[in-house]
Amino acid sequence: MGDPVTVTPAAADLIRSLRGRHGPLMFHQSGGCCDGSAPMCFPAGEFRTGSSDVRLASLEVEGVPEPVEFWMSTSQWELWKHTTLTVDVVPGRGSGFSLEAPDGLRFLTRSHLA
């Protein structure tokens, strides 16, 4: 079984760029309607994780000095845990309070059977 979360080169580029502008980062995978099922990227600590969350990965991204934690709610992970996730990036028009939206880009979670 591979890493539960990986990032594509394009997503790594965007993470490096956002890190340069916003400081240390984190992800929380969303669920529900509208922009649900998308990974939300915040300044580290902006979104308060708690006992209802699980940290799936501490992503090592070249050029980013600290690991980027990737979180999901535990109840959602119960339904997702037979899959691995790849954080990719596509042209897009915003989503929640995620940091990359003003760049005209959206992080996108692609999934694979573990």
Q: Nearer Cβ to other proteins, position 1 or 113?
A: 113
CB of 33 to other proteins, least distance (A): 2
Per CB under 8 A, the segment of 6-14, 54-62, 68-76 that binds other proteins is 68-76
Q: Does residue 92 belong to the site contacting other proteins (CB under 8 A)? A: yes
Residues 96, 114: Cα–Cα separation, whole Å: 28
Whole-angstrom Cα distance, residue 34 to residue 50? 24
Classify residue 46 as exposed, middle or buried by CB count within 10 Å of its CB (0-12, 13-18, 19+). middle
Q: From 98, 26, 105, 104, select the one nearest 61 (Cα to Cα).
A: 26
CB closer to other proteins out of 55 and 112: 112
Tell me if 34 contacts other proteins by CB under 8 A.
yes
Of the candidate spans 5-13, 57-65, 104-112, the one that interacts with other proteins by CB under 8 A turns out to be 104-112
Among 24, 47, 54, 67, binds other proteins (CB under 8 A): 47
- Burial grade of 50 (CB within 10 A; 0-12, 13-18, 19 or more): exposed
Quick one: which segment of 3-11, 34-42, 59-67 binds other proteins (CB under 8 A)? 34-42
CB 56 within 8 A of CB 4: yes
Partnered with residue 100 across adjacent β-strands are none
Q: Name the residues that contact other proteins, by CB under 8 A.
A: 28-38, 40, 42, 46-48, 73, 75-76, 79-80, 83, 90-99, 101-102, 106, 108-113
